[in-house]
Each structure stands twice: as structure tokens, then as C-alpha cells.
Amino acid sequence: MKLVRYGAAGLEKPGMLDADGRVRDLSGVIDDLSGEALTAAGIARLAALDPAALPLVPGTPQQDLRLGPCVGHIGKFICIGLNYADHAAESGMAVPPEPVIFAKWTSAVVGPDDDVLIPPGSVKTDWEAELAVVIGTGGSHIDEADALAHVAGFCIVNDVSERAYQIEGSGTWDKGKGCDTFGPTGPWLVTPDEIGDYDNLGIWLDVDGQRMQEGSTATMVFRVPHLVSYCSRFMSLQPGDVISTGTPPGVGMGKKPPRYLKPGEVMRLGIDGLGVQTQKVRSA
């Protein structure tokens, strides 16, 4: 299934895509794509529905029908750093011996096609196309062999980053990762049965039509089951938590010379089977 949240910002309703790519309304079945709706039982309940029997939502998604973040009420937005060896190299950093964990604040979350705002005074706002994992069934100290049973689905995240805030000051990476609009999420949540081989998905990102990033999840250092298990050692994972798994090479910081986002530019990014995001960049 491909599950979506549609409508005006802050007023999104849950839906699913039918075979023709149209949105069918789920608001008569669930309140939102969050919490219990994302557990194994919740996903099974949605999978048993006939999309054709659900109300058709007018409009074409991502054209005249806005899609919001594909997960509602995200509890924790967990990110993994330096999880592609070639990205670590372009960043001038060593491949870590264990996953690097940092956070995006949930106030950063926006829809897949909403504008990205450059913070006042920023001159180093960057892009990062990433595969994200959405937790369905919660737990702590999850065994790696059981980790996929805790996954509701996968989606795209653009881990927008302000590099001066992230790296050049004192403190942690988090302050360069969580600015408002720095977490476009979606367009849809794709359940594991539909995504297939999540270990071999192409990832790309363009800025104003110029290809910046192109890679594959096949080159991730730490794979999805390990990341779910590892994160659950340090926090309980709960339905609707998001783990963004890192980015392949091609970020602006790694260009020679570095190349950062400017107002008026457009980012377009995608992952095989997970759709496409498009964001216009503007000043805050």
C-alpha cells in the first residue's frame, strides 16, 4: 500500500492511493496515519480494505492536491549520520565504527512539496536525500532478526542541513538539522510488502535540474534491521517514530568548491518506488 496524508497544512486527512494513483479517503476508518494505525494490526486492517469502496478525493496528488507529511504526530525523528562510506569521505570524516545518531526536531517536518526556508543569515544550507523507516510496532532492545516486524513502511526524507550551525560552532549536529522546514517527509508511506528490496533502491537529487546526488541504498554501511535494533538500545521505539538512514554522496558541502542552496532554487529528489519530492527554496 501507499498511504498518504492530504489537505491543507495542519489539517491533513489520512488516505491511500488506489491503482490509478488517486487518493481515497481513510478518515472514516482512522483518525490519522499515526499511533495505532501504524502497528501491524493497524496496517493489516487498512490492507484488507477495498480502495474502490472508499470515497474518492478530488484532485491529483502533488499537482492540485497537496500532500502533507506521510506520518502524523511523529514522536521521534531520529537520523543516522555518515551511513554511506563515500559520503563520509566527501565530508572529510571517517566511517564510524557504529551508527551516529542525531535528532531532527519534529517542528522541522513539512510536506514533500512544501517550501524549504533558508534561516536568516544562513549561507550554508544543504540538501540530503534519504531513505526513512517508519516504526509500526514499538519496542526496546529489539533483536536485529526481528527488526523488520517493527517497520510499518518506508518513505523519503530530505534531511536539509545548515552546515555552519551543524559543524562550525560548538555543541552537537542537532542545531543545524532541525530548523523549520528542514524535514520534508513523503510523499507517501510505502508498506514493506510493496517496496521489495529496500537494500537496493536508487536515490537521486537535483537542484534546478542539475543532478547533485545519485546513489543506492546498497552502499549503506549499516542496514535497516541493524539501525532499528541499534536505536532501540538507547530509546524505546514507538509507532510513528521515523529513522532517516543517511545520505549518499553529492551534498553541497562535499562539492569542490562547496555549493549551497540559494533562494529561488528548486530541489527535486526521489527514491525508487517511494515517489518524488519537489521543494522551492526561499528566504525565511
Q: Do the domain assignments include residue 23?
A: no
Q: Do the domain assignments include residue 26?
A: no
CA nearest neighbour of 214 among 222, 226, 204: 204
Q: Do the domain assignments include residue 269?
A: yes
What digits encode the pLDDT tens for the residues 176-194? Answer: 999 999 999 999 999 999 9
Percent of the chain with pLDDT over 70: 100
Task: Return the ∠ at Cα 191 (arms to 135 and 112), rounded to 5°.
Answer: 80
Q: For residue 77, what are the domain limits? A: 71-283
What pLDDT score does 103 carry? 96
Q: Do the domain assignments include residue 29?
A: no
Q: Do the domain assignments include residue 123?
A: yes
Query: For the residues 155-174, what does the mean pLDDT come to?
Result: 92
- On whether the pTM is more than 0.75, the answer is yes
Q: Do the domain assignments include residue 99?
A: yes
* Domain tally, the chain: 1
Three-state DSSP class for residue 227: helix
pLDDT band at 170 (very low <50, low <70, confident <90, very high): confident
pLDDT band at 263 (very low <50, low <70, confident <90, very high): very high
Beta strands in the chain (DSSP E): 2-6, 13-17, 23-25, 77-81, 100-104, 109-110, 116-118, 125-126, 129-135, 151-158, 161-162, 183-184, 189-190, 202-207, 210-216, 242-244, 266-271, 275-283
Cell representation of residue 193: 510488502
The CATH number covering residue 225 comes to 3.90.850.10
What pLDDT score does 47 carry? 98
Query: Would the pLDDT of 95 be above 90?
Result: no
Q: Do the domain assignments include residue 250?
A: yes
pLDDT band at 260 (very low <50, low <70, confident <90, very high): very high
Q: Cell 534546478 identifies what position? A: 208
Q: Do the domain assignments include residue 173?
A: yes
